[in-house]
Structure 1
């Protein structure tokens, strides 16, 4: 077997984050008396959120700051008198209940029972543990490594040190990280010296010079990569 330990990203790798985010945002806006809020503000919110998550990867902000700042900026831009901290708490509460999986996720994990599976994710502990715990993958992972607990986020080496310590593994050649983000998952794996697999279902162009070990369009394609015998 080529790899013994698989580190999975969560959002947009095993879980359909776009759908989960959309549903949680809609419910939060409805609770705050804005039933059309998703349609009106989603694009602006995503632009703001994308910038802040990139800042997080680059160490320019913290997760606790990001939690509220994305909504503070949105409400300021849209001239909405809503408390960003309160709205964030409501949104994250709904998000923790959204468990939509990417097609093929359950079957993939079932076919990798001979491997040690773990999660390594940038995000909020309560949200991620709730989503995984409520999903069909609830008993799948040996460890759930979350940046809020680790004190580091991908692509920082610290979160991988934390993961390797939790998993009690030292042989990097036996570990593969799988994720959808070139700058977070793939760059993080490269920085740490482990093989990487870029999950790219939408066939995005890679024009930033980050070169994954493998690239797949569908999750089941990972099975042959992971289980292939050493030549």
Structure 2
């Protein structure tokens, strides 16, 4: 147990259950365009396409704006659907911004750590993330909410951590902890920046990388055993 004064949280699949949120938004947007037939097939293709594009984003190969419509452009091309990918993505993001499903234990952990300085660092769209937070239990629980689209940088880039440290006026790294579910984004970014990291791994995924998080937890509540 260590006395961390400042804790940065990732949001998707760390505090929000993004899998459920994504499924709900995906179903709603495809329903709007009367494309519910073969939804499971579209969803499978989308996940594969989206995963590749988000990895490209982390490597700086594509911008967030490009990613949004490109994932649907590729999906529609693969399944021979005549749709406007830009408009479709805009509608999808609106539906996504309405989803506020929390990971089990999120409320308990945030309440228990309310005496700490808490902030969010998330890769994503400003309007979507802000809407989800403002319509959930998480509203008002964080000193700052740092969103990649607003900063122009994304995890694991050092610049987004520079931005976050500047926002909270932090000069000492030893009492800062980064908590997140992504090894390549949250953990890689934290390690590169020289701060302690906690990998939230509820599905017991194998760590096939060379990254060594300071801590690993499988339930969010176990974070309370780490933070003094």
**In structure 1, what is the equivalent of residue 104 of structure 2?**
103
TM-score normalized by the length of structure 2? 0.98
Query: RMSD value over aligned CA atoms?
Result: 0.8
SS in 1 for 2:227: helix
**In structure 2, what is the equivalent of residue 147 of structure 1?**
148
SS in 2 for 1:12: coil
Distance 1:221 1:159 in 2: 27
Distance 1:218 1:38 in 2: 31
**In structure 1, what is the equivalent of residue 218 of structure 2?**
217
Matching of residues 42-53 of structure 1 within 5 Å: 42-53=43-54
Please, which moves more after superposition, 34-43 or 180-189? Answer: 34-43
**In structure 2, what is the equivalent of residue 57 of structure 1?**
58
Corresponding pairs, count: 227
Distance 1:106 1:38 in 2: 32
Given that residues 198 and 212 in structure 1 are in contact (C-alpha distance below 8 angstroms), is that contact kept between their aligned partners in structure 2?
Answer: yes
Structure 1 stretches of 4+ with a deviation exceeding 6 A read none
Q: How far 1:2 sits from its partner (Å)?
A: 1.3
Q: Alpha-carbon deviations, 1:47-72, whole Å to 9, x = none?
A: 00000000000011110110110000
Q: How far 1:74 sits from its partner (Å)?
A: 0.3
Q: How far 1:38 sits from its partner (Å)?
A: 2.9
Distance 2:116 2:39 in 1: 40
5+ residue gaps, structure 1: none
Matching of residues 15-164 of structure 1 within 5 Å: 15-164=16-165
Distance 1:78 1:35 in 2: 13
Given that residues 7 and 120 in structure 1 are in contact (C-alpha distance below 8 angstroms), is that contact kept between their aligned partners in structure 2?
Answer: yes
5+ residue gaps, structure 2: none
Q: Alpha-carbon deviations, 1:88-135, whole Å to 9, x = none?
A: 000000000000000000000000012111000000000000001100
Distance 1:36 1:214 in 2: 43
Q: How far 1:224 sits from its partner (Å)?
A: 1.7
TM-score normalized by the length of structure 1? 0.97
